[in-house]
Structure 1
Amino acid sequence: MSRLLSTSITAEREHASLWWGVLNQLRISNELPEWVRAKEVGSDADYRGAMIERSTVNQALFGTDEIQSGGDLHPCAFEYQSLIDLMELERTRYLTWWTLLNEMRARKQLPEWVVTNRIGHGPDHERWSDKAVKVNLMLFGQPHVRHLATQLRMPEGPRPDSRQRTASLTPVNC
């Protein structure tokens, strides 16, 4: 299961990263509408925030900052509620990216190359959701856990560096 789990988590994240990549490309080429640009998505800071959330989930689940697709990492003992909160916090950022792309599509503000690649529309979201369901089933035995999340925002204030996160989030049985 460990290789399948790391592959499934990586697939879910790679799909969502495509959304950031599109937003980033649109930002760089100055094609983001002002209402989207004001949200500071698609920026390097946005990407760093996603990497912090991703690393936090990796630490809680595997006791390491990074995982590779097909990696033979074994999940640590983890507290379900804490892991659900961390994973859904990470997914909230991904959903924000998709929602903005979908809204741009609805307003006919997406460039043709994005529309042609079918990014930011319902079936694109469904493909990503299927990947999230696969991960949820492996970890929690149920397809959807967002309704169980108690915290969907990163706490305000300075973000801990990797060493601080490791000390506070590494489960005992890693």
Structure 2
Amino acid sequence: MILFISNVTIAVLGSIFALRQVPFWEPSKFIPILGMLLGKSMNSIAMTTRQCLDNINIYGPILETRLAFGATRYEAIKPFATEVIRLSMLPVIMQLSVMGMINIPGTMVGLILAGKPMTDAVIYQQCIIFMVTASSGLGVIMAVVVSVAARRKGRTHRK
């Protein structure tokens, strides 16, 4: 559900505002965009869920101690949650750092080979990469919130 919400939200917003597609749901453009977002953000969300649940299980006594000393749930989990978000977003940020210089993205090459002007291909690729980053970021934050809420209610099965 997290994948669906984060990817569809960013795909719709990106198609409407960044790529200016009319109508935004045109299947020949919207489905490939959604596929690229799903493919890239799945790794970040999976890493987040695993790392968050592992941290909660490993550092449970520390969290309970903070809560016992009067910290709110947010204050108790904040250091662990920020570290999980930072680690989960690292692959996407590293991809951004080399995009266009070392790595020639497939979308841009495909558009150039299809006969589109190079500037249009570059702008399209940049929009897609920023949409991937936004989708991963939204999904990672949602995954942390859901993981903490699930763990708090005792719904995880890890020991």
TM-score strictly above 0.5: no
| Greater RCO, 1 or 2 (C-alpha within 8 Å, sep 6+) | 2
TM-score range relative to shorter protein: 0.3 to 0.5
Length-normalised TM-score, structure 1 = 0.34
Instruction: Choose 1 or 2 for highest CA Rg.
Output: 2
- What TM-score does the superposition give when structure 2 sets the normalisation length? 0.36
